[in-house]
């Protein structure tokens, strides 16, 4: 399937005939069914002995499948220069093997990204939004109290493999019930470990000197009342094999969230346990204990962050370093979608760069670092620190940075373990900031930077977009 901005999808059937399908006729494909479909495609490829024209048609079909499972991008990037680095192409590993770890699932399913979970989603009535409410008396977002709201801090992992390229901790909410089938029911949050021999540690200091991807803490919000929904932490390593990087899981740790009274059962204490070796995407996989030890701590949400956390979606795993700027995005969503919206029945696309682009920017930690750093610097200079003033300041920063970079500047996709890719991206980000400080405007950056053609749909929010397919 290939997503189109007008609400139709380009699909290819078993006879390699393509056509348009309205997205309201579709449902999200679970990871298990996705793996089965990919195996069928591989078998077809092995048995294909027809002429080259049919082979070319099959190649186009698989390419379409690649595009549909990656992040939805409307702009055609085929004419743009590709990065020469050896980073993992989107879905390279997923297409060559079944989904085995959270990293594979994240690359295969856009519904596990921030782009999906931060974008406001319509409620079942289609007259309101699932977890976005406006307090008209106080003229601000209404607080949303959920069953589980806490801060999880990773302290260390012991007995881990030595001499690896990169160590990652992937976190998600996992539904272990048999009624709906085992599945991931939240976004996948990632933390990069600091490797010191056989011990993995994490940066616990939140400041602009460190990148958010290395931060030890993450916010946990969940409104699920089922005891079968648990917190899943998975340690994985990145290795270089046969010309590209490969991610392999080492083990997982499961933490129960809901008790018999349907309230949070996460105690505010330090948890220590050994990881379990298990492929959660394989029903026949048998769990077994490993020698990898995890140490983490559950804490209350800091008081200075409570008002921001209460404005987040009901189900989310998120980085506290980015919570303040995310609050102003959510506030703008509330003003445009609720407070100032004249017709709640309208399904027209809403033209607003911040509303449409921020969820996709949230999947790029280096760009979020840039915005957060500039916001903290500007916040200290504000004389009047009202919520309205802060929101206006953040909007100005976003329009002069992320708006000019995301889907505009030519740079490789974010890859946290590829130093060359990160360096190339950093050059673009630095150029934007330097020119903004010198010329007080992003115009010079746009005029002197190789850019992609602008697609108006990239800066408009479709309330019936891909995130609405749950």
pLDDT of residue 83: 36
Element (H, E) at 332: helix 323-334
Considering 213-217, 238-242, 283-287, 452-456, the range whose residues carry the highest mean pLDDT is 213-217
Q: Are 252 and 274 in contact (CB under 8 A)?
A: no
Domains of the chain, by residue range, sit at 2-69, 99-141+320-468
Residues in a beta bridge with 450: none
Q: Are 34 and 69 in contact (CB under 8 A)?
A: yes
Cβ neighbors of 417 (< 8 A, separation 6 or more) are 87, 165, 166, 168, 192, 238, 245
3-state secondary structure of 204: coil
DSSP 75-86: S--TTSPPP-S-
Alpha carbons 199 and 250: distance in angstroms, whole number: 14
pLDDT of residue 144: 86
Alpha carbons 404 and 372: distance in angstroms, whole number: 16
Q: Are 225 and 258 in contact (CB under 8 A)?
A: yes
Cβ neighbors of 63 (< 8 A, separation 6 or more) are none
pLDDT of residue 150: 97
Alpha carbons 424 and 401: distance in angstroms, whole number: 17
CB neighbour burial string for 349-374, b if at least 16 within 10 angstroms, e if fewer? beebbbbbbbbbbbbbbbbbbbbbbb
pLDDT band at 344 (very low <50, low <70, confident <90, very high): confident
Residue 375 scores a pLDDT above 70: yes
CA dihedral 321, 324, 328, 334 (to 10 degrees): 100
pLDDT digits (tens, 9 = 90+) for 50-81: 444 444 444 444 444 334 333 333 333 333 33
- Decide the pairing of beta strands 8-12 and 2-3: antiparallel
pLDDT band at 327 (very low <50, low <70, confident <90, very high): very high
- Which has the closest alpha carbon to 173: 146, 141, 195? 146
Burial of 38 (0-12, 13-18, 19+ CB in 10 A): buried
Residue scoring higher pLDDT (345 or 308): 308
Cβ neighbors of 423 (< 8 A, separation 6 or more) are none
Residue 205 scores a pLDDT above 70: yes
Residue 468 scores a pLDDT above 90: no
pLDDT digits (tens, 9 = 90+) for 404-445: 999 999 999 999 999 999 999 999 999 999 999 999 888 899
Token pair for 20? 């348009």
Element (H, E) at 249: strand 244-256
Residue 49 scores a pLDDT above 60: no
């Amino acid at each position: 399937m290939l997503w189109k901005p007008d609400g139709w999808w380009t699909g290819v059937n078993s006879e390699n005939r393509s056509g348009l399908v309205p997205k309201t006729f579709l449902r999200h494909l679970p990871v298990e069914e996705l793996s089965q479909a990919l195996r069928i495609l591989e078998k077809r490829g092995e048995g294909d002995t027809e002429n080259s024209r049919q082979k070319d048609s099959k190649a186009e079909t698989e390419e379409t499948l690649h595009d549909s499972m990656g992040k939805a991008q409307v702009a055609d990037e085929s004419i743009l220069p590709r990065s020469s680095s050896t980073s993992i192409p989107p879905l390279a590993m997923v297409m060559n093997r079944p989904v085995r770890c959270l990293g594979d699932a994240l690359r295969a399913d856009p519904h596990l990204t921030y782009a999906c979970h931060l974008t406001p989603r319509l409620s079942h009535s289609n007259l309101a939004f699932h977890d976005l409410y406006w307090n008209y008396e106080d003229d601000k977002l209404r607080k949303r109290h959920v069953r589980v709201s806490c801060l999880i801090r990773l302290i260390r992992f012991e007995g881990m493999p030595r001499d690896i390229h990169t160590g990652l901790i992937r976190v998600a909410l996992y539904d272990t019930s048999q009624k709906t089938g085992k599945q991931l029911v939240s976004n996948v949050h990632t933390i990069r470990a600091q490797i010191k021999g056989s011990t993995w540690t994490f940066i616990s200091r939140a400041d602009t000197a460190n990148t958010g991807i290395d931060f030890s803490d993450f916010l946990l919000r969940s409104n699920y009342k089922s005891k079968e929904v648990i917190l899943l932490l998975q340690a994985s390593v990145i290795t270089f094999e046969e010309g590209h990087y490969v991610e392999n899981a080492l083990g997982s740790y499961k933490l129960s969230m809901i008790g018999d009274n349907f309230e949070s059962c996460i105690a505010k204490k330090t948890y220590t346990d050994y990881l379990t070796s298990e492929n959660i995407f394989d029903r026949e996989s048998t769990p077994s204990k490993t020698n990898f030890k995890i140490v983490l701590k559950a804490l209350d949400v800091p008081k200075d962050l409570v008002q921001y956390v209460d404005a987040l979606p009901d189900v989310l795993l998120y980085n506290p370093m980015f919570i303040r700027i995310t609050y102003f995005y959510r506030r703008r969503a509330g003003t445009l979608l609720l407070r100032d919206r004249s017709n709640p029945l309208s399904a027209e696309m809403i033209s607003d760069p911040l509303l449409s682009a921020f969820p996709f920017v949230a999947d790029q930690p280096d760009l979020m670092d840039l915005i957060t750093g500039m916001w903290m610097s500007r916040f200290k200079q504000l004389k009047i620190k009202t919520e309205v003033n802060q929101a206006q300041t953040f909007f100005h920063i976003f329009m002069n940075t992320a708006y000019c970079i995301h889907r505009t500047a030519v740079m490789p996709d974010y890859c946290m373990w590829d130093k060359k890719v990160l360096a190339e991206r950093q050059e673009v980000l630095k150029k934007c900031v330097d020119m903004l400080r010198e010329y007080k405007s992003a115009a010079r950056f746009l005029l002197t930077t190789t850019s992609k053609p602008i697609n108006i749909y990239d800066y408009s929010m479709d309330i019936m977009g891909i995130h609405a397919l749950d």
